[in-house]
Structure 1
Amino acid sequence: MAIIDNFEVPHSAQELPFPAQPNASFFILFLSSIDPVTKQPWCSDVRDTLPILNKMFSGSSSPTVHYAYVGSRAQYKETSGSRFRIDWNIRNLPTLSRYERSSDGKVKEVGRLVEGELLDEKRTRDLTSA
């Protein structure tokens, strides 16, 4: 469907802007930010996987994926912990997470792929298919 770039991640999954349709999923791809000097993502795993993911998620049958940037290397790895590491438990980049709203109304993460796992197109398709 679409790539939503520069998604502003809320403080918790409960605040995600879910689509109105029932049984909807919400996908966030957590990425390292662009280094201002190199003009590339600072994380080598992100540099390796991003061209493949961009192609995969640009197809008409792909779900909407929200690209969220975790900041500079220093911001992400700061000793007190970035909000992505603390609030969202993002320990590896890139990380693709799938969220769903359960019958009780709570939003839960129901799947996750990290780093090189995202190079496996079948695993990525399996996570993002309905």
Structure 2
Amino acid sequence: MPIIKDFTLPPSPSQLDIPQDSSPSNQTSAIIAFISGNDPVTQQPWCPDVRDALPHLDAAFAAPDAPAVAVISVGEKLVWKDPMNVYRTQWGINNIPALVRYQHVDGEVKETKRLIEGEILDKAKVQAFLA
């Protein structure tokens, strides 16, 4: 499945458009990878953990049977460090990179799985996340 780089993130997880239909033909979850923005000089992610994790994310989601993942940049370093950053306040993201699954639980969209930082480098943990 594709890595989606132009995903429009709603204001909060509760507004994600996830079908409640649990049939095998429907994707009933949303997976989002929260990563750092690029350094303006190097054009590489400013966060070293993100730089380390990107090849692992690319490999995991390149498989033909892998689900889609939306990749969201949390911005430049100063934007990310702001405690009022929308990703911190509305999405509960305090570590990057973060790989997060959202699903319907009891009629509401909720986070059901999360891997952060070095956990994304562990192939077994990523495979378990995707299972």
Q: TM-score, normalised by structure 1?
A: 0.91
Which stretches in structure 1 are left out of the alignment for 5+ residues? none
The alignment partner of 2:34 has SS state of: strand
- State the Cα distance separating 1:6 from its structure 2 match: 3.5
Residues of 2 paired with 1:53 and 1:61: CA distance? 14
**1:92 alignment partner in structure 2:** 95
Residues of 2 paired with 1:99 and 1:66: CA distance? 12
**1:108 alignment partner in structure 2:** 110
Residues of 2 paired with 1:21 and 1:65: CA distance? 19
The alignment partner of 2:129 has SS state of: helix
Residues of 1 paired with 2:64 and 2:20: CA distance? 20
Residues of 2 paired with 1:105 and 1:76: CA distance? 31
RMSD of aligned alpha carbons: 1.5
Correspondent of 1:61 among 56, 61, 65 = 65
The percentage of counterpart residues that share the same residue type is 42
- State the Cα distance separating 1:20 from its structure 2 match: 6.7
Dislocated runs of 4+, deviation >6 Å? none
8 A Cα contact 2:36 2:73, kept in partner: yes
- Which amino acid in structure 2 is aligned with residue 50 of structure 1? L
Would you say 1:83 and 2:92 are equivalent positions? no
The alignment partner of 2:30 has SS state of: strand
Query: How many aligned positions are there?
Result: 127
- Which amino acid in structure 2 is aligned with residue 68 of structure 1? I
Which stretches in structure 2 are left out of the alignment for 5+ residues? none
Q: TM-score, normalised by structure 2?
A: 0.90
